[in-house]
């Protein structure tokens, strides 16, 4: 079978931390053939480490878009560029994996979905948390009806003191927002996915700008308060059309004891589940009633049992890459559908809007 030829736009943290290592493990199926970054050394470095024999590096993403030999483009650039680069690549006939958040606005996200549909190419978004061990386990529980009808959930994207200090995360113009669009997007994606509910009715939100100068104790080191332009926490109350409700909380800096990032709490008619996190370790707490008693079960994922064929532990990003490439080669849907990510974007935009106006947003 002909290998897929992949181009990477943006060779920074997430490209090197997730996409490139994940794709490199699929070297029997893909060649990473083109690398673009506006900082040429980054493109050159990634090419030297991961590039196929005929690969090249450049600084203008249109070179990749216009390269007819490429089948797939991964968009790993700041948030505001996602829509433009994704749509240009789709229009040129490429399949696209775009990093989260899909886009800054619903209008952009819809344009991406519409373009993919019109040109008949695949589009997915980088929500790798769906591929964590605990997330996969919980998916099976939900699919088996163990939680019943999920009608209340808490989407948690809460850091205590961990403002990202690399890249442009605190730049409003380039990212569109702070922890809500950056982390809240992961927690909300997980929550909607388990609820199987993509029909929001209204959103009420509050957005805080109180901690932008409180750099003490930041896990990623101090930042420059003068260039901190985004919110430090945001909260949303989301009512779905069928009455189900979600409480979303997102922060980079908030005085809390127990951070929970990219986690959800699900309450259903048959049982409940809570994703818990300590650093990179996740636990799942399950509760239900049985035999006339209340049962609490803890599912431990510290014991790693998911190994790849070469005996190396699979990371969520490796699984994400593998199912994406398989979706293209065998023509099926990827796990993350762009229509789902579009609703996440729509809700997050509405929380920002509601925070600004002090009024609910009705869809």
Ligand X SMILES: NC(=O)c1ccc[n+]([C@@H]2O[C@H](COP(=O)([O-])OP(=O)(O)OC[C@H]3O[C@@H](n4cnc5c(N)ncnc54)[C@H](O)[C@@H]3O)[C@@H](O)[C@H]2O)c1
Binding-site ranges for ligand X (CB under 6 A): 9-15, 36-39, 42, 61, 76-79, 81, 99-100, 126, 128, 166-168, 182
Dist CA 336 CA 129 (whole Å): 11
Could you count the other beta carbons within 10 Å of the beta carbon of residue 38?
Answer: 15
Cβ closest to ligand X, residue 98 vs residue 361: 98
Both tokens of 163, joined, read: 């403002």
- CA pair distance 54, 58, nearest whole angstrom: 13
Q: What is the DSSP letter of 314?
A: P
Q: Give the dihedral sign, CA 187/193/198/200.
A: negative
Residue 71's CB: how many other CB atoms inside 10 A?
A: 20
- Give whichever of 176 and 272 is closer to ligand X, judged by the CB atom: 176
Query: Is 46 or 240 the residue whose CB approaches ligand X more closely?
Result: 46
Show Cβ contacts of residue 18 under 8 Å, excluding neighbours closer than 6 positions: 126, 128, 315, 317, 320, 321
CB 191 to ligand X: min, Å: 16
Closer CB to ligand X, residue 182 or residue 232? 182
Residue where the block lists tokens 């805080």: 208
Nearest distance from C-beta of residue 360 to ligand X, angstroms: 27
The least CB distance from residue 278 to ligand X, in Å, is 18
Q: What minimum distance in Å lies between the beta carbon of 180 and ligand X?
A: 12
Cα(66)–Cα(71) distance, integer angstroms: 11
Residue (240 or 275) nearer to ligand X, CB = 275
Q: Which is nearer to ligand X, 10 or 272 (CB)?
A: 10
Question: Strand 233-240 and strand 245-251: pairing?
Answer: antiparallel
Residues 6+ apart with CB under 8 A from 244: 150, 151, 152, 153, 195, 197
The nearest distance, CB 183 to ligand X, in angstroms, is 8
CB of 290 to ligand X, least distance (A): 36
- Decide whether 78 or 268 has the Cβ nearer to ligand X: 78
Task: Say if strands 56-58 and 72-75 run parallel, antiparallel, or are unpaired.
Answer: unpaired
Residue nearest to ligand X (CB): 12
Burial tier of 118 (Cβ tally within 10 Å: 0-12, 13-18, 19+): exposed
The 123-125 sheet, strands edge to edge: 56-58, 30-36, 4-9, 72-75, 95-98, 123-125
- Which CB sits closer to ligand X, 22 or 200? 22
- Beta carbon of residue 115, minimum distance to ligand X (angstroms, whole number): 18
Q: Least distance in Å: CB of 211 to ligand X?
A: 20
């Amino acid at each position: 079978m002909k290998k897929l030829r992949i181009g990477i736009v943006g060779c920074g943290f997430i490209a090197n931390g997730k996409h490139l290592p994940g794709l490199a493990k699929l070297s029997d199926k893909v060649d990473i053939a083109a690398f673009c970054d506006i900082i040429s050394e980054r493109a050159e470095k990634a090419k030297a480490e991961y590039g196929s024999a005929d690969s090249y590096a450049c600084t203008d993403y249109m070179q990749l878009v216009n390269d007819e030999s490429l089948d797939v483009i991964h968009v790993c650039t700041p948030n505001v560029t996602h829509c433009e680069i994704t749509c240009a690549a789709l229009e040129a006939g490429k399949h696209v994996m775009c990093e989260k958040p899909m886009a800054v606005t619903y209008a952009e996200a819809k344009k991406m979905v519409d373009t993919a549909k019109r040109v008949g190419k695949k589009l997915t978004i980088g929500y790798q948390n769906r591929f964590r061990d605990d997330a996969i386990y919980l998916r099976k529980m939900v699919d088996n009806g163990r939680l019943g009808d999920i009608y209340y959930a808490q989407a948690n994207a809460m850091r205590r003191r961990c403002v990202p200090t690399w890249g442009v995360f605190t730049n409003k113009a380039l990212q569109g927002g702070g922890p809500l669009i950056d982390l809240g997007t992961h927690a909300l994606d997980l929550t909607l996915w388990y609820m199987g509910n993509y029909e929001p009715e209204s959103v009420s939100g509050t957005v805080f700008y109180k901690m932008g100068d409180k750099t003490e104790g930041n896990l990623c080191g101090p930042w420059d308060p003068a260039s901190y332009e985004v919110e430090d926490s945001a909260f949303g109350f989301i009512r779905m059309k069928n009455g189900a409700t979600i409480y979303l909380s997102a922060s980079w800096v908030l005085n809390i004891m127990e951070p929970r990032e990219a986690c959800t709490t699900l309450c259903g008619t048959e049982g409940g589940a809570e994703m818990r996190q300590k650093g990179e370790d996740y636990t799942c707490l399950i509760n239900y009633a049985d035999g006339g008693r209340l049962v609490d079960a803890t599912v431990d994922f510290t014991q790693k049992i998911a190994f790849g064929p070469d005996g190396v532990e699979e990371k969520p990003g490796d699984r994400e890459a593998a199912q994406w490439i398989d979706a293209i080669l065998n023509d099926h849907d990827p796990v993350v559908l762009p229509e789902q990510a579009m609703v996440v974007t729509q809700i997050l935009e509405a929380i920002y809007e509601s925070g600004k106006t002090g009024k609910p947003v009705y869809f």
